[in-house]
């Protein structure tokens, strides 16, 4: 079955995650995505597995996730013979994605003003850490620095003001930022349908971090008072974290007090609390928060999470387990929605699906991410380069 984007050619001239992952989403819907990376070591994202603290595995799972379905062209953009190759691709492309820092774009002539004149239907998609203009426009940054730390999210999610800020996990800000860049590309393609012209679109890690932290940012903009930061037991007993007998944590978020408080006390076998003057009304529960938290802790520690999960599901209250990644491997809900599809030809190895579903459209079955330069020759052939020309490019070192 043909994919929705099977007539689109995307050039992934970027590195690491947020920019390339926007191309990955397009590839899921059938776009041809050519990954342009330097000969030798390739995209520096390939080195992330070597960092301290990264869980070891027999495969490069970072690369597998964010570069599935793509073709790899090993092209040395600094080589004088590489420019004609790049321009040949740009003239036929629909989307050009880059996140190179400004000075590198200048040296390689990869600014939108360099690229767009080659193809007036091209969408030039730019990803930066801190935005396209301003004093920090050329600063380097990753999602840990620009999305997580700089946006205020790192500080905002601390359990209490006395604990150190939490370090983000790899890609935590990159992947939602990739969705934003994908959305910008889609808007530009829609405009092209109306006008026939391409153009430049952009987003940044910082902008997406601020958007993710938008509720607190809007509070600051409205001069809210942040002088008091609540600790455990101060947030309200019905919007708190609790631990089961087995040590697993979960959270209650019972915002509909009128409906959910009676459901909760019945579920946990404490129907007498419904009319207990300490807990019977929202005002009483607020005044006796510490006592109710302690009482609930004493109840929840009597059963394992597997028991509480079933009880909560039957009760109709709002709750959420504090899941670990391994919990999702056998999750029936995730399986039912195809969120971890199998990679074609791997005998059952799975990956993480992109989070967009279109009614009536079937996504491409994921294919393994490419080796460095795996498709160099076939790509060049498809763009009209003959064997002699390709051999000359290989000999010069412009491609590999």
Q: How far is CA 73 from CA 21, 36, 84, 202, in A?
A: 17, 5, 14, 24
Q: How do the domains of the chain map onto residue ranges?
A: 9-214+355-396, 241-323
Confidence grade of residue 227 (pLDDT, cut at 50, 70, 90): confident
Residue 49 has pLDDT above 70, yes or no: yes
Model pTM above 0.75? yes
Q: How confident is the model at residue 231 (pLDDT cuts 50, 70, 90)?
A: confident
> pLDDT tens, 347-372?
999 999 999 999 999 999 999 999 99
pLDDT tens digit sequence for 272-298: 999 999 999 999 999 999 999 999 999
- List helix spans (H) across 268-366: 282-287, 289-300, 305-315, 332-336
Q: Give CA–CA dist 156/145, Å, rounded.
A: 15
Of 257, 215, 213, 214, whose CA–CA distance to 236 is shortest?
257
| Mean pLDDT for the stretch of residues 373-378 | 98
Residue 320 CA to residue 250 CA, distance in Å, equals 6
Percent of the chain with pLDDT over 90: 94
Mean per-residue pLDDT over the chain, rounded: 96
Q: In this predicted structure, what is the pLDDT of residue 234? A: 85
Q: Which residues pair with 37 in a beta bridge?
A: 74
Residue 270, pLDDT score: 98
User: Sign of the C-alpha dihedral, residues 381, 95, 100, 149?
Assistant: negative
The predicted-structure confidence for 147-188, as pLDDT tens digits, reads as follows 999 999 999 998 888 889 989 999 999 999 999 999 999 999
pLDDT band at 235 (very low <50, low <70, confident <90, very high): confident
Return the number of other C-beta atoms located less than 10 Å from residue 184's C-beta. Answer: 19
pLDDT > 90? residue 84: yes
pLDDT tens string 96-125: 999 999 999 999 999 999 999 999 999 999
CATH code for the domain defined by 241-323: 3.30.1540.10
pLDDT higher than threshold 80 for residue 1: no
- State which CATH number among 1.10.4080.10, 3.40.50.300, 3.40.50.10540, 3.30.1490.20 fits the domain covering 9-214+355-396: 3.40.50.10540
pLDDT in tens, 293-343: 999 999 999 999 999 999 999 999 999 999 999 999 999 999 999 999 999
Report how far residue 359's alpha carbon sits from residue 272's, in angstroms, rounded to the nearest whole number. 48
pLDDT by residue (tens digit) across 14-43? 999 999 999 999 999 999 999 999 999 999
Edge-first strand listing for the sheet containing 9-12: 71-74, 32-37, 9-12, 95-98, 123-128, 199-204
């Amino acid at each position: 079955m043909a994919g929705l984007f099977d007539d689109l050619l995307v050039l992934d001239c970027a590195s690491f995650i947020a920019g390339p992952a926007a191309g990955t989403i397009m590839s899921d819907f059938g776009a041809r995505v050519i990954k342009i990376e330097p000969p030798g070591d390739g995209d520096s994202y390939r080195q992330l597995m070597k960092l301290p603290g990264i869980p070891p595995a027999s495969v490069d799972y970072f690369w597998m996730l964010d570069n599935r379905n793509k073709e790899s062209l090993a092209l040395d953009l600094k080589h004088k013979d590489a420019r004609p190759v790049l321009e040949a691709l740009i003239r036929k492309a629909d989307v050009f994605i880059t996140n190179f820092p400004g000075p590198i774009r200048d040296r390689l002539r990869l600014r939108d003003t360099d690229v767009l004149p080659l193809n007036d239907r091209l969408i030039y998609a730019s990803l930066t850490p801190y935005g396209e203009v301003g004093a920090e426009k050329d600063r380097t940054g990753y999602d840990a620095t620009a999305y997580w730390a700089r946006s205020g999210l790192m500080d905002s999610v601390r359990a209490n003001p006395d604990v150190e800020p939490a370090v983000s996990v790899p890609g935590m800000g990159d992947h939602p930022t990739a969705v934003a860049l994908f959305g910008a590309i889609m808007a530009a393609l829609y405009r092209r349908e109306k006008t026939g012209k391409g153009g430049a679109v952009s987003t940044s890690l910082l902008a997406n971090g601020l958007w993710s932290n938008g509720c607190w940012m809007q509070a600051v903009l409205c001069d809210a008072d942040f002088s008091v930061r609540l600790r455990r037991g101060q947030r309200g007993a019905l919007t708190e974290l609790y631990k089961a007998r087995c040590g697993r944590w979960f959270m209650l978020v019972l915002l509909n007090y009128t409906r959910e408080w009676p459901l909760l006390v019945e579920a946990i076998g404490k129907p007498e609390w419904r009319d207990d003057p300490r807990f019977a009304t929202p005002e009483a529960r607020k005044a006796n928060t510490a006592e109710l938290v302690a009482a609930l802790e004493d109840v929840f520690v009597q059963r394992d999470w597997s028991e509480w999960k079933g009880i909560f599901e039957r009760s109709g209250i709002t709750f959420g387990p504090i899941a670990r990644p391994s919990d999702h491997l056998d999750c029936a809900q995730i399986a039912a929605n195809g969120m971890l599809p199998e990679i074609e030809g791997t005998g059952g190895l799975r990956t993480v699906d992109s989070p967009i579903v279109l009614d009536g459209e079937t996504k491409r079955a994921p294919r393994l991410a490419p080796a460095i330069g795996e498709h160099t020759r076939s790509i060049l052939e498809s763009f009209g380069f003959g064997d002699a020309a390709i051999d000359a490019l290989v000999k010069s070192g412009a491609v590999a």
